[in-house]
Amino acid sequence: MVWVLLAIIPFLLMNNAFIITILTLVGIYTIASMGLNIIMGYSGQISIGHAAFMSIGAYTSTLLVMNYNVPIVFSILAGGVVAFLFGLLIGFPALRLSGFYLAIATMGFVVAIEQLMSSLESVTGGHAGIRSIPFEHVWNSDVEKYLLVLAFAFICYVFMNRMMHAKTGRAWMAIRENEIAASVVGINTAKYKVLAFAIGSMMAGIAGALYAHVIGYIAPSDFGLSKSLDLLAISVIGGMASVDGPLYGSLIYVAMPFLFSRTHVSMSIVFGIILIFVVMFMPLGISYYLYKFRINYLNRIVAFFKRGRKPYGDFVETSFGKMHYIKRGSGEIPILLIHGNFASARFFEPFLKKLPAGYTAYCPDLPNFGYSSEMPGDVEIDKYAQGVEEYVKAMGLKDFILIGHSLGGAVAMAYAIRNPDKVRRLILIDSAPVDGMDLAEESHKLLNMYRYNPQIIKSALMFNAPTYTNEKFFDVITSDALRIAPKAFVGNAVALSSYDYTEKVKELKIPVDIVYGDKDVLISSEEMKRTAEAFPNGKLVMIKDVGHSSIIESPDEIVKLLQHRE
How many angstroms separate the CA atoms of 476 and 474, rounded? Answer: 5
Q: Which residues contact 170 (CB under 8 A, 6 or more apart)?
A: none
Using CA atoms, how far apart are residues 426 and 55, in angstroms rounded to an integer? 67
pLDDT of residue 155: 95
pLDDT on residue 280: 84
Measured CA angle at 235 (ends 108, 271), to 5 deg:
90
Residue 150 pLDDT greater than 70, yes or no: yes
CB contact at 8 A, 78 and 70: yes
> Can you name the CATH fold of 314-564?
Rossmann fold (3.40.50)
Give the residue extent of every domain in the chain.
34-223, 314-564
Q: What does pTM read for this prediction?
A: 0.72
pLDDT recorded at residue 333: 94
* SS3 sequence of 439-507: CCCCHHHHHHHHHHCHHHHHHHHHHCCCCCCCHHHHHHHHHHHCCCCCCHHHHHHHHHCCCCCCCHHHH
pLDDT higher than 80, residue 269: no
The helix (run of H) or strand (run of E) holding residue 190 is helix 189-215
pLDDT of amino acid 336: 97
- Residue 364, strand partner residues: 325
Torsion of CA 127, 132, 135, 138, to 10 degrees: 170
Q: In what order do the strands lie in the sheet with 512-517?
A: 314-318, 321-329, 359-364, 333-338, 400-405, 423-429, 512-517, 538-543
Q: If you ran DSSP here, which 8-state letter would residue 318 be given?
A: E
Beta strands 538-543 and 512-517 are parallel
**Looking at residue 278, what is its pLDDT?**
81
Question: Residue 362's pLDDT is what?
Answer: 97
pLDDT single digits (tens) 509-549: 999 999 999 999 899 999 999 999 999 999 999 999 999 99
Which contacts qualify for 251-254: CB closer than 8 Å, 24 or more apart? 251/26, 252/286, 253/29, 254/22, 254/25, 254/26, 254/29
pLDDT tens digits for range 339-368 = 999 999 999 999 999 999 999 999 999 999
Residue-level pLDDT at 185: 86
Name the pLDDT band for 499 (thresholds 50, 70, 90).
Answer: very high
Question: pLDDT averaged over the chain?
Answer: 90
User: Tell me: the pLDDT tens digits for 43-100?
Assistant: 999 899 999 999 999 999 999 999 998 999 999 999 999 999 999 988 888 788 777 8
Residues 6+ apart with CB under 8 A from 159: none
Rounded Cα gap, residues 314 and 305, in angstroms: 23
